[in-house]
Structure 1
Amino acid sequence: MSALSRLRIADLLPVATIGLRTRPGRAALSVLGVAIGIAAMVAVLGVTRSSQAQVLAQLDRLGTNLLTVTNAEARGSRENQLPETAASSIGRTEGVRSAAATAQLKDVGVHRTDKIPSHLGAGLEVRASGTGLLSTLDAHLIEGVFLDPATSNYPVVVLGFEAARTMGITEVTGDERIWLGERWYVVTGILQQVQLAPEIDRAALIGFGTATADFGYDGHPSRVYVRADTDRTAEVATMLPRAANPAAPSRVTVSRPSDVLSARLAVADATTSLFLGLGAVALLVGGIGIANVMVISVLERRGEVGLRRALGAARRHVAAQFVVESVLLGAVGGGAGVLLGAAVTVALAHHQGWQPIIPPVAAGLGLVAAIGVGTVAGLYPALRAARMAPTEALRTA
């Protein structure tokens, strides 16, 4: 009988879904296990890609050709001086587009009023700056104007983003003043956040002329910002120490602020591997859940299996029934997991202000992985069902 028996493809699906339709709660739990694993994988890849795209967009916008030159002997937030000719020598270096010097003015307090004791500070600092700083950093103002050749010799100040927020100054009216050292300075501008130069965000910027007149600035910069030709950035970085301090180039440090953003990509990649591993574990647990459900289903449906075998169903037909049922569980769980992972990615991306990106490869591979897990999980129960002898199955039913 078994050699002559036939099972049409059209009949296989209804037969294979009998167990799912009669035990929906158990089937739902099996689907949930697979869905969680696939959702974790899709969400991790989606959130990572969205985050990386944001970082790459920042790098493209801010540029990777910004370099900073400082004294290598600096300690903590205290910057030591560079030679007086450092900025001009750097500006003449081949491959340098522009250079802007700043000088940290030590022991000059930044306060909202003159009533605050000078020894109390808010982590802010005063920097003397040239008029070319804005263009070199590719920075922008929220309000007001930056220093120019005329105002650089007068008691006016431009506040960095964090400095303005700390002192509660949100607009430039012409009447806002702050207390620098022992003098009042009029606020003429507020900078937008400068992501590649956080020290500027915490600074109150004044001109070199007024820094010399009011605070005895001696003309030695402590930090020089450099914009290089993009394709020659690494080469220029090797030439800057000698240009800044020909007598002692080893005392000069050249850094590339965009490397911090690039490091975020490396950290994101490492984190992705960790969470993908956790997603794989969840998927494995889901596969084990499917296998358990299928084994129990075989044991509970011995009578059905025995009856079908007695009526002429071949071993391969019984095996196909349970394999297809397991594959369906995996496929439904995979589809639900892809949708859930995509939803998590979109929600987190919108919360962070990123452009949500769901890699098609992640969705496709997630679904394939779920079907694969379902297939593997159903093989043993299917073979066990197929090996049942009709008489034994009917007797133990």
Structure 2
Amino acid sequence: MTAATSPAAAREGSRPVRLSPGDVLRLGVIGLRVRKMRAALSALGISIGIATMIMVTGIPASSQKELLSQLTALGTNLLQAQPVQSGGQKTPLPKDADRMAARIGPVTRASAVANTNTTIQRTDHSDPSDSIAVSVLAARDNLLTTVNGSVNTGRFLTPATDRFPTVVLGHQAAATLGFKKLLPGQPAPQVVIDHRWFTVIGVLNPMPLTSDLEQAALVGWSAAGTYLHFDGHPTVVYVKSDEQAIDDVRSVLPATLNPELPGLVQVSRPSDALAAKRASEHSFSGLFIGLAGVALLVGGIGVANTMIISVLERRREIGLRRALGANRGQIRGQFLTEAVVLSGLGGLAGAAIGSLAVAYYATYQGWPVVIPPASVAEGVVGALLVGVVAGVYPSIRAARLPPTEALATV
């Protein structure tokens, strides 16, 4: 005896089976596994877009870091303080002015030089006017590290040589006196300062932001007092501070060096190199955003085009699944999942390719390797979002395809 089937049971049996997220994922991957070459080429399109995005952020970021490090090396965080002439004379700075400046919180290093008002000559028979452009300055031992200078040949002043008649020549001063470099193993040359012989122990490299030191002969602080009648009052104080606080340091430095008459202390403004450094940070940021957006847009268009073609080529599959009971939602889910998986794989591959390309190019150029983690994360997430957006229209189009029309192409 055959049992009669109730209408409710018939409706229950006609309902499509609910697919779990895992089932939807497997259906979406089937299309990629069956058409491996097409999937690889489609993923290549989105991976190129993401790789481009990472490259246009990573390579300029590496270049920017190298540029900023070079600008910092010039001394963008350096200030100079010196007395202002008033009433025909200058009020001297305190003898320990550099140590007073070093007590300011954001200051990382402070040093000083002082004009000894003496002349330097190549020999005791030289014409004094030949070296008139070279000033003789008493210098603290930590001057070179404070102004980000470096020695070309020889060595700089140290506590061991500070009290002896030794001198270090700036780059231009050495050229004026005829000493381009010191030859190892050869006797150290000597010059005449205020009718006394001084031994040249070093020649400095160029220092663009402190050109006054390039044209100077630097002697030890103690030696200047012993041999050149130096009174111990600095004429220029160099202060290095944290770049973020350089304006604050500049505002309090006059009162620190001369609490009673801060108006008689002149402090240089931050160098133009610092302004250029800050401007480059903003200009690079705007460039990154624009190029990344274009690259991601190109990748999204490629995925959308690929999915539309896939729907057109798989009409028979869509019609067969609809004839076997799949509803529109399941068809939409299948193609949308396929687009997201495709974009996700392309995004991961693009992130890897872009990171390797940035690392290779930066290393080849001798730059520090900078791969912004945010760019990598945004690239992968952006690829998934692009997959969702690019797959919406193709999945809706596939779901709306009538089974009879789809099967008519068989």
The answer to whether the Cα contact below 8 Å between 2:81 and 2:238 also exists between their aligned partners in 1 is yes
- How far off is 1:376 after superposition? 1.0
Corresponding residue to 1:368 among 358, 367, 381: 381
What is the number of residues matched between the two proteins? 375
Q: Which residue identity lines up with residue 289 of structure 1 in the other structure?
A: G
Sequence identity, in percent? 30
Q: Is 1:85–2:92 an aligned residue pair?
A: yes
Residues 176 and 203 from structure 1, CA distance in 2 versus in 1: closer, same or farther, beyond 3 angstroms?
Answer: farther
Bigger radius of gyration among the two: 2
Query: 5 Å matches for 1:347-366?
Result: 347-351=360-364, 356-366=369-379
The answer to whether the Cα contact below 8 Å between 1:157 and 1:185 also exists between their aligned partners in 2 is yes
| Other-structure match for 1:252 | 266
The answer to whether the Cα contact below 8 Å between 2:111 and 2:237 also exists between their aligned partners in 1 is yes
Query: 5 Å matches for 1:261-280?
Result: 264=277, 267-280=280-293
Q: Is 1:338–2:345 an aligned residue pair?
A: no
| Other-structure match for 1:134 | 143
Q: Where does the alignment leave 5 or more consecutive residues of structure 2 unmatched?
A: 1-12
Task: Note the alpha carbon deviations across 1:32-52, whole angstroms, 9 max, x for none.
Answer: 443334424662696389669
Task: Note the alpha carbon deviations across 1:62-92, whole angstroms, 9 max, x for none.
Answer: 996x63114789xxxxxxx983623537358
- How far off is 1:256 after superposition? 5.2
* Paired residue secondary structure (1:294): helix
The answer to whether the Cα contact below 8 Å between 2:53 and 2:291 also exists between their aligned partners in 1 is no
The answer to whether the Cα contact below 8 Å between 1:70 and 1:252 also exists between their aligned partners in 2 is yes
The answer to whether the Cα contact below 8 Å between 1:306 and 1:393 also exists between their aligned partners in 2 is yes
Q: Is 1:290–2:303 an aligned residue pair?
A: yes
Structure 1, 166-175 or 370-379: larger mean CA deviation: 166-175
- Structure 1: distance between partners of 2:297 and 2:355: 20
Q: Normalising by structure 2, report the TM-score.
A: 0.66
Q: Where does the alignment leave 5 or more consecutive residues of structure 1 unmatched?
A: 74-80
Q: Which residue identity lines up with residue 291 of structure 1 in the other structure?
A: A
| Other-structure match for 1:77 | none
- How far off is 1:326 after superposition? 1.2
Q: Which residue identity lines up with residue 17 of structure 1 in the other structure?
A: L
Q: Is 1:144–2:155 an aligned residue pair?
A: yes
Q: Which residue identity lines up with residue 42 of structure 2 in the other structure?
A: A
* Paired residue secondary structure (1:252): strand
Residues 341 and 200 from structure 1, CA distance in 2 versus in 1: closer, same or farther, beyond 3 angstroms?
Answer: farther
- Structure 2: distance between partners of 1:169 and 1:136: 21
* Paired residue secondary structure (1:290): helix
Residues 199 and 340 from structure 1, CA distance in 2 versus in 1: closer, same or farther, beyond 3 angstroms?
Answer: farther
- Structure 1: distance between partners of 2:15 and 2:203: 87
- Structure 1: distance between partners of 2:242 and 2:326: 76
- How far off is 1:320 after superposition? 2.1
RMSD across aligned positions (CA): 5.5
Q: Is 1:315–2:328 an aligned residue pair?
A: yes
The answer to whether the Cα contact below 8 Å between 1:244 and 1:252 also exists between their aligned partners in 2 is no
Residues 70 and 16 from structure 1, CA distance in 2 versus in 1: closer, same or farther, beyond 3 angstroms?
Answer: farther
Corresponding residue to 2:36 among 13, 16, 21: 21
- How far off is 1:189 after superposition? 1.9
- How far off is 1:386 after superposition? 0.7
- How far off is 1:190 after superposition? 3.9
The answer to whether the Cα contact below 8 Å between 1:52 and 1:265 also exists between their aligned partners in 2 is no
* Paired residue secondary structure (2:137): strand
Task: Note the alpha carbon deviations across 1:357-391, whole angstroms, 9 max, x for none.
Answer: 54544323321111111111111111011100112
Q: Which residue identity lines up with residue 90 of structure 2 in the other structure?
A: P
Task: Note the alpha carbon deviations across 1:231-262, whole angstroms, 9 max, x for none.
Answer: 998467534279569779367234456x9558
The answer to whether the Cα contact below 8 Å between 1:16 and 1:321 also exists between their aligned partners in 2 is no
Task: Note the alpha carbon deviations across 1:186-234, whole angstroms, 9 max, x for none.
Answer: 5312457879x6437734423389999x99x999976332478999984
| Other-structure match for 1:69 | 81
